């Protein structure tokens, strides 16, 4: 066994990270691939962000993930930012190379990969895609969908300020917008419905949506992964619609980061899914 100082270090930087499943995922892959490594959690208050990043530069780290509320705030402390992350205006993965920090954003590509792993891109990319929410997750997913060729996108928003920020981020891209009370105007045409809001997350309000308005061949997806089956997905399954839960996006985010750090692409398979799902309900002692 390697001394702790020699073990490749990665981790998660964020505000409140104690409930994260990222350590579970990465340590499963370390064991599966027989790799040394340790994935740590770094809960950090805002006034300590700059200092923490400076410490990371000094530590023998391969890199780290970034979560709320620092995906945007960390940008000034990085040496380079990948083109996609520049377009999105946020970073979720940092790679350390030659004592420099390089920022990437794999949120959008991880989301798209989680869908196409189950249903082909051709099923929805040329049709209407409806995104619920206009925050940071929407920005990442929107950028990747457009990169893949989507051109009929409707953003349903509740927060006018965040929607205007979204418009300013993509001034040359045209997409339709609807306020939340008008949501049923777009559902009959939606081939892909994406919930990027926190509605339905454990401890949050439920997403109360009448899925009967959706076409029979629609795909319903939710980036919430706790609970794994949100009320939205439960309703969609009861109606016989295709569904994509939020765990896939989390796993593919981790896969892209792992590959950047180690040069190895770990498998996103039923085994790692079961391992993470079991961690939601640990056995009683």
pLDDT digits (tens, 9 = 90+) for 236-256: 999 999 999 999 999 999 999
Confirm if 10 and 26 have CB atoms less than 8 A apart: yes
Q: Domain span at residue 57?
A: 4-105+249-280
The dihedral sign for the CA sequence 48, 51, 55, 56: positive
In a shared domain, residues 56 and 119: no
92-116 residue pLDDT tens: 999 999 889 999 999 999 999 999 9
- CATH no. for residue 42? 3.40.50.10860
Q: What average pLDDT does the segment 134-143 reach? A: 87
160 found inside a domain: yes
Structural domains in the chain (count) = 2
Task: Say yes or no: 158 and 72 in one domain.
Answer: no
How many whole angstroms separate alpha carbon 33 and alpha carbon 90? 30
pTM of this structure: 0.92
**pLDDT value of position 243:** 98
What is the reported pLDDT for 5?
53
Average pLDDT over all residues of the chain: 91
Q: 137 in a domain, yes or no?
A: yes
> How many residues in the chain?
285
Query: Tell me: the pLDDT tens digits for 142-190?
Result: 999 999 999 999 999 887 777 777 777 776 677 888 999 999 999 999 9
55 and 128 assigned to the same domain: no
Same domain, 121 and 38: no
Give the start-end residues of each E strand in the chain: 9-14, 38-43, 63-66, 80-81, 93-97, 100-104, 128-132, 153-157, 176-179, 190-195, 219-222, 242-244
Residue 213 gets which letter from DSSP?
G
Look at residue 285 and tell me if it is in a domain. Answer: no
Whether 46 is covered by a domain: the verdict is yes
Share of the chain above pLDDT 70, in %: 96
Q: Which residue is catalytic, options 6, 21, 71, 147? A: 71
Question: Do 115 and 241 share a domain, yes or no?
Answer: yes
Q: Which string of b and e fits 110-147 if b means at least 16 CB within 10 Å?
A: bbbbbbbeebeeebbbebbbbbbbbbbbbbbbbbbbbe
Does pLDDT of 285 surpass 60?
no
Are 128 and 144 contained in the same domain? Answer: yes
Count of CB atoms within 10 A of residue 42's CB? 17
41 C-beta neighbours (distance < 10 Å), count: 16
Measured distance CA(64)–CA(61) in Å, rounded: 8
- Asked if pLDDT for residue 123 goes beyond 90, the answer is yes
Kindly tell me if the per-residue pLDDT of 4 is higher than 60: no
How many percent of the chain have pLDDT more than 90? 73
Residue 71: active-site member:
yes
11 and 23 assigned to the same domain: yes
Q: What count of other Cβ atoms lies within 10 Å of the Cβ of residue 62?
A: 19
Both 165 and 140 in one domain: the answer is yes
């Amino acid at each position: 066994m390697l001394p702790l100082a020699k073990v490749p270090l990665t981790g998660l930087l964020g505000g409140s990270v104690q409930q994260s499943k990222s350590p579970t995922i990465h340590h499963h892959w370390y064991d599966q691939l027989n790799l040394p490594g340790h994935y740590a959690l770094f809960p950090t208050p805002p006034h300590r962000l700059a200092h923490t990043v400076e410490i990371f530069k000094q530590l023998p780290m391969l890199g780290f993930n970034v979560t709320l509320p620092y995906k945007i705030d960390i940008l000034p402390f990085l040496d380079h930012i990948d083109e996609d992350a520049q377009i999105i205006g946020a970073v979720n993965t940092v790679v350390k190379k030659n004592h420099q920090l390089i920022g990437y954003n794999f949120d959008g590509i991880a989301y798209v990969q989680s869908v196409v792993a189950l249903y082909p891109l051709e099923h929805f990319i040329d049709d209407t895609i409806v995104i619920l929410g206009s925050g940071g997750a929407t920005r990442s997913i929107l950028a990747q969908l457009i990169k893949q060729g989507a051109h009929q996108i409707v953003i349903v928003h509740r927060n006018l300020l965040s929607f205007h920020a979204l418009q300013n981020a993509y001034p040359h891209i045209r997409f339709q917008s609807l306020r939340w009370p008008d949501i049923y105007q777009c559902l009959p045409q939606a081939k892909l419905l994406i919930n990027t809001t926190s509605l339905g997350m454990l401890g949050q309000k439920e997403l109360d949506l009448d899925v009967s308005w959706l076409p029979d061949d629609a795909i319903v997806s939710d980036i919430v992964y706790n609970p794994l089956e949100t009320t939205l997905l439960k309703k969609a399954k009861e109606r016989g619609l295709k569904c994509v839960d939020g765990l896939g996006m989390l796993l593919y985010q981790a896969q892209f980061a792992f590959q950047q750090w180690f040069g190895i692409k770990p498998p996103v398979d039923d085994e790692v899914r079961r391992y993470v799902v079991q961690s939601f309900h640990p056995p009683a002692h």
